[in-house]
């Protein structure tokens, strides 16, 4: 079939080229040539205009795009790339299930062959020492993210931070686990979904001192822009864990904001301040929350909560808070 260009037709905000193709068949009425209009899904006669076929199948994409960036995002040519995998998700993976396409169990000889193929596939996916290092680190980041309930955006940021550290040769003399934990902690801080060092300690495979030192090293060497942790960022999570109502959370936020204006937060743990603000607000609002319950969700000591509680009430301008501090 020969193609004949037509005009550009605007469809759904996107300009599509509506080409026509000359069909080898002839019109049943006048024996003239037939033309296939792909944009309308019709086959018509060139001479008399008889519509021979209608509702043709459109083999193009079912989505619409309004610019080149949207077109690139929606185009489906294989799985999307991701920084969560050491090879960006571009390699193939042989399924671990020893079943054929119909779900039937395969025989022993084919199982052994598949196992050998899996072994070689795994070796080829991480050929160099750097790739094996990255693969192990990204596995650690994924494991800790799941344990801490961090979103996928934080995982991707952590993988990018670790890749930068690996490219700059910052891992020499440091454990993979420590640098992976430090990368995830930095990513959580950057995304404003912070987790305290106390929360990282039970899920990390190294002790707190080691990954804290690795965190400071990564921030310094990579020049990461990380602001000091804000106690207000911990409030929603702690309030949700304690099942506090909106009034109590709002009161805690007001106490924290007044305390921060007075400089109470200087040199203090943001986790302890958030916990103390919720405890103080629960008392002022009449909620039955004990210090022990607050400490269990925030992972701070009761002494810290009592000390920060008094400081916040003394710094506030609320008359009820002033009477509570007295």
**What single DSSP character describes residue 90?**
-
**What single DSSP character describes residue 208?**
H
Place of tokens 């693969």: 135
Q: Which token pair is 120? A: 């070689």
Longest Cα–Cα distance in the chain: 102
Answer yes or no: is 30 a known binding residue.
yes
Query: How many whole angstroms separate alpha carbon 256 and alpha carbon 258?
Result: 5
Answer yes or no: is 48 a known binding residue.
yes
**Nearest to residue 157, comparing CAs of 134, 191, 181, 132?**
191
Strand order in the sheet with 20-26: 3-4, 20-26, 33-37, 42-45, 51-53
Neighbours of 115 (CB within 10 A): 13
Answer yes or no: is 45 a known binding residue.
yes
**Nearest to residue 56, comparing CAs of 67, 44, 45, 47?**
44
Answer yes or no: is 295 a known binding residue.
no
Instruction: Spell out the residues 6+ positions from residue 238 whose beta carbon is closer than 8 angstroms to its own.
Output: 274, 275, 278, 294, 297, 298
Q: Which residues line the annotated binding site for Zn(2+)? A: 27, 30, 45, 48
Per the annotation, binding residues are 27, 30, 45, 48
């Amino acid at each position: 079939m020969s193609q004949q260009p037509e005009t550009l037709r605007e469809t759904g905000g996107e300009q599509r080229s509506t080409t026509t193709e000359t069909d080898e068949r002839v019109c049943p009425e006048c024996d003239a040539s037939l033309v296939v209009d792909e944009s309308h899904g019709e086959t018509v006669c060139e001479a008399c205009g008889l519509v021979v076929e209608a509702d043709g199948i459109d083999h193009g994409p079912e989505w619409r795009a309004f610019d080149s960036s949207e077109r690139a995002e929606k185009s489906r040519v294989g799985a999307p790339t991701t920084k969560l995998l050491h090879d960006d998700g571009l390699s193939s993976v042989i399924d671990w299930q020893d079943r054929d396409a119909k779900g039937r169990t395969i025989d022993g000889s084919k199982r052994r062959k598949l196992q050998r193929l899996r072994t070689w596939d795994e070796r080829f996916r991480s050929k160099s020492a750097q790739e094996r290092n990255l693969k192990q680190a990204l596995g650690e980041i994924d494991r800790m993210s799941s344990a801490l309930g961090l979103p996928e955006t934080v995982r991707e940021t952590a993988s990018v931070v670790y890749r930068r550290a690996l490219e700059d040769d910052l891992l020499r003399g440091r454990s993979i686990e420590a640098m992976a934990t430090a990368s995830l902690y930095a990513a959580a801080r950057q995304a404003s979904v912070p987790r305290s060092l106390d929360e990282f300690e039970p899920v990390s495979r190294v002790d707190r001192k080691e990954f804290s030192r690795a965190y400071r090293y990564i921030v310094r060497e990579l020049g990461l822009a990380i602001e000091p942790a804000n106690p207000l960022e911990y409030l929603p999570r702690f309030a949700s864990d304690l099942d506090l109502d909106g009034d109590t959370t709002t009161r805690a936020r007001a106490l924290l904001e007044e305390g921060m204006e007075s400089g109470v937060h200087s040199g203090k743990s943001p986790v302890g301040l958030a916990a103390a603000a919720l405890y103080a607000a629960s008392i002022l609002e009449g909620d039955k929350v004990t210090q022990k319950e607050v400490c269990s969700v925030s992972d701070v000591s009761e002494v810290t909560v009592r000390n920060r509680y008094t400081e916040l009430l003394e710094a506030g301008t609320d008359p009820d808070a002033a009477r509570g501090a007295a």
